[in-house]
Amino acid sequence: MNISLFKLLVPKNNIPAKSKPVKDLSEIDVVAQAMIFFLAGFDSVSTLMCFTTYELAANPDIQDRLRQEVMTTLDECGGKITYEGLLKMKYLDMVVSEVLRKWPSTLATDRLCLKPYTINPALPDEQPLHLEEGSILMIPIYGMHHDQEYFPNPDRFDPDRFNDENKDNIKPYTYFPFGLGPRNCIGSRFALLENKVLMFYILMYFEIVPVERSRIPVQLSKTSINLTAEGGFWFGLKRLKR
């Protein structure tokens, strides 16, 4: 991957000067924050839920294995799921982690360069990349998650990438669906919990099946800024016999 793709220069005079904290919020501030809440809290979680549903419908063997874990956990919790029981579900965590690798809710993230830095070339035909103070680095999450060097056969949905044996082999800073460091997503744990609870109850009562309008493999929309399916996600719920 050419490291020049990471750089987007912003003039230094665009960096906001240090000033005293603003105590009062204007209407624009309130509206802007509300919009961020909707985009970051609703759209990203719905994307994760939709692609989880898609992968379970497209991979019935994985869905069956996950349902077995759901039923086992339900028995261990006395017929009612608990927070502790949900956290112990290793395969559910593996499935959700792989969905976030293959279909990250955010295609890229950015960071501000606070001091000059030079990235030395990794390939013979590359030039050093000089980052100036005030540069904004665009980091392609989707590109990193689909890099053959870090995730072999990246288009294959394989939750076992995140099992106890393999997850420690994932190179640091190559998997970051919620960002990294002190500026990572503040709502990541809540988003994961929402998705896991929903999947738990769906698989407890239903089998997720393709229907006439389902598209497998999925066709990505070319008009959305984030990942979504062309024409939407369409799947059926088949009631389980219990």
Binding-site members for heme are 185
Contact 166, 160 (CB under 8 A): yes
Binding residues: 185
Give Cβ neighbours of residue 44 (< 8 Å, ≥ 6 apart).
105, 106, 191, 226
CA distances from 129 to 109, 166, 242 (A): 19, 33, 61
Pairing of strands 7-8, 129-131: unpaired
Sheet containing 108-112, strands listed edge to edge, beginning at the edge strand earlier in sequence = 7-8, 136-140, 108-112
